[in-house]
Amino acid sequence: QVQLVESGGGLVQAGGSLRLSCAASGNIISINYMKWYRQAPEKQRELVAAIAGGGSTSYPDSVKGRFIISRDNAKNTVYLQMNSLKPEDTAVYYCNADIWGRVSGRWRDYWGQGTQVTVSS
């Protein structure tokens, strides 16, 4: 079964950096888009970065210029480099990917378990 395993969260001071990783495992044939979302307490989940299979990226204004999404297709892994972190970046961060698996035989949307990022003021 396809799974996404996320890591790299933690506590960092404002202005610091963190690098999140999310590795997909299982009988994977192909991965289309890969994305990062975050959800802060009492707030809706929001998209913070997306990367297409061909490498095209997109970001909302709230993180543009500070966050960088990348992927290593050989490792089935997506990364989120977060720089110049602000207290308002504090949230649980989730990875998401559209994956064609051998078992499912179709495109399916998968989610990681989430990793906590806390930015102190």
What pLDDT, in 10s, does the model give residues 73-85?
A: 999 999 999 999 9
pLDDT digit string (tens) for 47-99?
999 999 989 999 999 999 999 999 999 999 999 999 999 999 999 999 999 99
Q: What is the mean pLDDT of residues 24-41?
A: 96
pLDDT class for 1, splitting at 50, 70, 90?
confident
The answer on pLDDT for 22 being more than 90 is yes
Q: What pLDDT score was predicted for residue 21?
A: 98
Question: Alpha helix locations (H) across the chain?
Answer: none
Closest by CA to 76, choosing from 112, 22, 38, 114, is 22
Q: What pLDDT score was predicted for residue 90?
A: 98
Closest by CA to 111, choosing from 94, 89, 92, is 94
